[in-house]
């Protein structure tokens, strides 16, 4: 059965009927009181007129209020103290103000597309007499106001925190409100006591002030940490190679920083080159970092190999191993040029040590770590540089200048007093880390830093998954297309079990497809995000992706038919009129409407398909009249 067809975008004809029934009531009172009409007849008729007048008046007011709501809602600002009043329950996420989108709202929206809504915008005088007030959306603002006005009653929107464990995607074009939405969600995460990590490629000063203010209001002094590659003196030093369970994890992190289009064979060579150096450094009890890796891969493994062999011979042959006759003879041959040297930089001492390892040491006494180093040492230098050509630029970017001292910190440097942090320390101390990647002037370095940070965080999530425990980590990634890599996809897929809950923001599906190589790969990555918050979007493929997520609903269409005709005989005439209500399934939100959303307004699919229409308030972090938040 078809549900009742609703058409509120018209004159409130019920008001005329209410006036007529009211006049009938007055007439019955006028003739009933003097006795001109018997009271037994006048009183029931008067009550009937009163009931019908009230009913028609209520229907008229419903139409008028709904029409008046088409003026939309102006952008709203909240101080930190005011936002705290809306976020009292730590197990609930505040999503601004709005309403749950129902089939009747889709019906109203489709009907509005058929008429000129501007004829309905001005609130009638009757509503002004009744005291109806709401701040309308100014005409100068972007977007159509009626998208939020199809429902006159809005309320604070909340969803359980556990519904966001599956990840959240924020989609919106430039200046549509992604930063404001992130500020609202980050402030709540700080207030809940989460470990918060923010990756901001653009370095938004407004967002950073909001995060700093939230830390000042709800956390202990010193909680806020900042990292900025262009201003290293104001932030902390980060060691992305500090935490690991197996040495091979570091090679996997470096591999994840490589461009997504890197060939499989070259990526495998790069992984092997890094792994050989890492294993060697661990073998000689040195902690690996980016600077040491770069020096060994670019300058050669010789220094590390010589120390590894010396340490090994000390353990296997005793303290007098250097006095062995065989070693002395090999050293003399190396100095005379009788032994083949892989490169001109190879010292005679190293050449003798390697020759002794290869030809005079029993196979049972050799180790895989030293075998890998010797293999790298014997590898043709020119060919080795070719197969690692895709790796060296990345390592050079991460170790040059001040950035190298920030990402490969030296704890024994007396002149550098900046704190040295890693994700384990950040988690244990409950810090809030704001990473500005500075992508506008240097996008390549920004992408590499962000990808390496995500790889390290994914490894940390794996450690938490294996060992258990730990505080909740809230990860916020703005402009995710700049930094997305395999570790981030793994975080989206399995991070919730490791206690990492991710919120990603992007502009278009095409940006992500360009980064990952195809739209199929982009959709595969986005399939790991359970919640979608869509602000204004102008890109058609992105709009299609959004409305596919929202699904379809039944929409009624009213069709009128009129036909007339005349027969051959004079005076014979026929006519007919028909009205048909047809039900069909359409998108719950038309795709083109996503490009007409006002700033800060959104459609959201959360909690497994619950569709919301809302608006985010602007958090003002610099208000001077702040009181202590509750």
Convert the pLDDT of each residue in 423-468 to its tens digit.
Answer: 999 999 999 999 999 888 888 888 889 999 999 999 888 888 887 7
How far out from the chain centre does Cα 515 lie? 16
Q: Are residues 492 and 605 in the same domain?
A: yes
Q: Are residues 271 and 334 in the same domain?
A: yes
Q: Of 389, 424, 445, which residue sits at a domain end?
A: 389
Q: Are residues 313 and 267 in the same domain?
A: yes
Q: Of 389, 409, 435, which residue sits at a domain end?
A: 389
In three-state secondary structure terms, 622 is: coil
The residue whose two tokens read 């704190």 is: 419
Of 146, 69, 138, nearest to 115 by C-alpha is: 146
Q: Are residues 190 and 316 in the same domain?
A: no
Averaged pLDDT for residues 547-558: 87
Has residue 81 got a pLDDT over 90? no
Count of domains observed in the chain: 3
Confirm whether 246 is domain-assigned.
no
Q: Of 356, 389, 422, which residue sits at a domain end?
A: 389
Has residue 33 got a pLDDT over 70? yes
Confirm whether 139 is domain-assigned.
no
* 395-420: b (≥16 Cβ within 10 Å) or e: bebbbeeebbbbbbbeeeeeeeeeeb
Distance, in Å, from the CA atom of 599 to the CA atom of 618, rounded to the nearest integer, reads 11
Q: What phi, psi does 344 have (nearest 5°)? A: -65, -20
Whole-number average pLDDT of the chain: 87
The model's confidence at residue 158, banded by pLDDT at 50, 70 and 90, is very high
> Between the CA of residue 336 and those of 329, 331, 340, 377, 424, what are the distances in Å?
11, 9, 11, 20, 52
Confirm whether 124 is domain-assigned.
no
For residue 521, what are the domain limits? 92-114+154-241+401-620
pLDDT of residue 624: 47
pLDDT digits (tens, 9 = 90+) for 376-420: 888 888 888 888 888 888 888 899 888 899 999 988 888 888 999
Confirm whether 78 is domain-assigned.
no
Q: Are residues 371 and 405 in the same domain?
A: no
Percentage, residues of the chain above pLDDT 70: 94
Distance, in Å, from the CA atom of 179 to the CA atom of 204, rounded to the nearest integer, reads 8
Confirm whether 82 is domain-assigned.
no
Confirm whether 299 is domain-assigned.
yes
- Identify the H or E element spanning 158: strand 155-160
pLDDT digits (tens, 9 = 90+) for 82-122: 888 898 888 999 999 999 999 999 999 998 888 888 877 76
Averaged pLDDT for residues 40-50: 90
pLDDT of residue 212: 93
CB neighbour list of residue 27: distance below 8 Å, 6 or more residues apart: none
pLDDT of residue 474: 95
Q: Are residues 409 and 385 in the same domain?
A: no
Q: Are residues 498 and 445 in the same domain?
A: yes
Distance, in Å, from the CA atom of 342 to the CA atom of 29, rounded to the nearest integer, reads 116
Please tell me the number of Cα atoms within 13 Å of 438 on its side-chain side: 12
Q: Are residues 199 and 278 in the same domain?
A: no
Confirm whether 128 is domain-assigned.
no
Q: Are residues 272 and 218 in the same domain?
A: no
CB 77 within 8 A of CB 620: yes
Tokens representing 267 are 């990526």
Q: Are residues 439 and 582 in the same domain?
A: yes
DSSP β-ladder status, 432-436 and 473-477: unpaired
Has residue 278 got a pLDDT over 90? yes
Q: For the full predicted model, state whether its pTM sits above 0.85.
A: yes
Confirm whether 223 is domain-assigned.
yes
Q: Are residues 455 and 367 in the same domain?
A: no
- CA-CA-CA-CA torsion for 203, 205, 208, 212, nearest 10 degrees? 150
Of 553, 549, 552, 510, nearest to 529 by C-alpha is: 549
Q: Are residues 272 and 348 in the same domain?
A: yes
CB 473 within 8 A of CB 267: no
């Amino acid at each position: 059965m078809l549900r009742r067809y609703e058409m509120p975008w018209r004159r409130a004809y019920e008001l005329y009927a209410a006036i007529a029934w009211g006049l009938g009531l007055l007439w019955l009172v006028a003739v009933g009181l003097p006795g001109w009409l018997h009271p037994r007849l006048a009183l029931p008729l008067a009550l009937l007129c009163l009931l019908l007048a009230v009913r028609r008046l209520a229907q008229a007011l419903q139409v008028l209020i709904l029409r008046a709501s088409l003026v939309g809602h102006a952008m709203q600002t909240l101080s930190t103290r005011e936002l705290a009043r809306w976020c009292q329950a730590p197990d609930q996420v505040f999503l601004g103000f709005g309403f749950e989108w129902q089939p009747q709202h889709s019906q109203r929206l489709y009907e509005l597309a058929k008429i000129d809504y501007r004829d309905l915008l001005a609130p009638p005088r009757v509503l002004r007499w009744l005291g109806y007030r709401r701040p309308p959306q100014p005409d100068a603002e972007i977007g159509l106001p009626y998208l939020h006005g199809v429902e006159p009653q809005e309320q604070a929107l909340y969803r359980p925190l556990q519904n966001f464990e599956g990840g959240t995607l924020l989609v919106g074009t430039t200046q549509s409100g992604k930063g404001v939405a992130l500020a609202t969600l980050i402030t709540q995460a700080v207030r809940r006591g989460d470990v918060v990590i923010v990756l901001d490629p653009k370095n938004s000063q407004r967002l950073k002030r909001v995060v700093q203010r939230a830390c000042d209001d709800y956390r202990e002094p010193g909680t806020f940490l900042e990292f900025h590659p262009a201003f290293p003196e104001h932030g902390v030093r980060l060691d992305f190679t500090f935490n690991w369970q197996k040495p091979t994890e570091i090679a996997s992190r470096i591999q994840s920083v490589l461009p997504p289009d890197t060939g499989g064979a070259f990526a495998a060579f790069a992984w092997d080159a890094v792994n050989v150096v890492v294993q060697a450094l661990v073998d000689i009890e040195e902690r690996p970092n980016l600077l040491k890796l770069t020096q060994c891969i670019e300058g050669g493994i010789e220094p590390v190999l010589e120390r590894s062999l010396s340490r090994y011979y000390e353990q296997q042959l005793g303290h007098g191993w250097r006095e062995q006759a065989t070693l002395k003879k090999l050293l003399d041959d190396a100095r005379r040029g009788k032994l083949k040297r892989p490169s001109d930089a190879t010292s005679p001492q190293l050449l003798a040590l390697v020759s002794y390892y290869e030809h005079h040491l029993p196979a049972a006494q050799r180790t895989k770590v030293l075998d890998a180093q010797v293999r790298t040492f014997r590898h043709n230098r020119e060919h080795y540089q070719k197969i690692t050509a895709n790796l060296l630029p990345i390592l050079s970017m991460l170790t040059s200048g001040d950035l190298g001292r920030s990402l490969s910190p030296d704890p024994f440097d007396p002149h550098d007093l900046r704190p040295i942090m890693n994700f384990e320390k950040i988690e244990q101390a409950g810090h809030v880390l704001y990473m500005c990647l500075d992508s506008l002037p240097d996008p390549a370095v920004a992408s590499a830093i962000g990808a390496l940070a995500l790889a390290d965080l994914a490894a940390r999530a794996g450690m938490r998954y294996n060992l258990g425990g730990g505080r909740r980590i809230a990860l916020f990634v703005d402009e995710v297309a700049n930094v997305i890599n395999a570790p981030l996809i793994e975080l989206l897929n399995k991070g919730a079990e490791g206690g990492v809950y991710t919120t990603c923001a992007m502009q278009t599906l095409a940006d992500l497809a360009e980064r990952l190589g195809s739209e199929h790969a982009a959709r595969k990555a986005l399939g790991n995000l359970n919640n979608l918050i869509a602000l204004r979007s102008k890109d058609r493929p992105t709009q299609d992706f959004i409305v596919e997520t929202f699904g379809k609903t039944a929409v009624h269409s009213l069709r009128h038919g009129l036909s007339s005709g005349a027969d051959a005989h004079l005076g014979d005439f026929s006519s007919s009129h028909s009205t048909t209500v047809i039900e069909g399934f359409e998108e719950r939100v038309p795709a083109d409407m996503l490009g007409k959303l006002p700033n800060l307004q959104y459609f959201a699919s959360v909690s497994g398909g619950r569709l919301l229409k809302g608006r985010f308030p602007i958090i003002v972090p610099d208000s001077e009249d702040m009181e202590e938040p509750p």
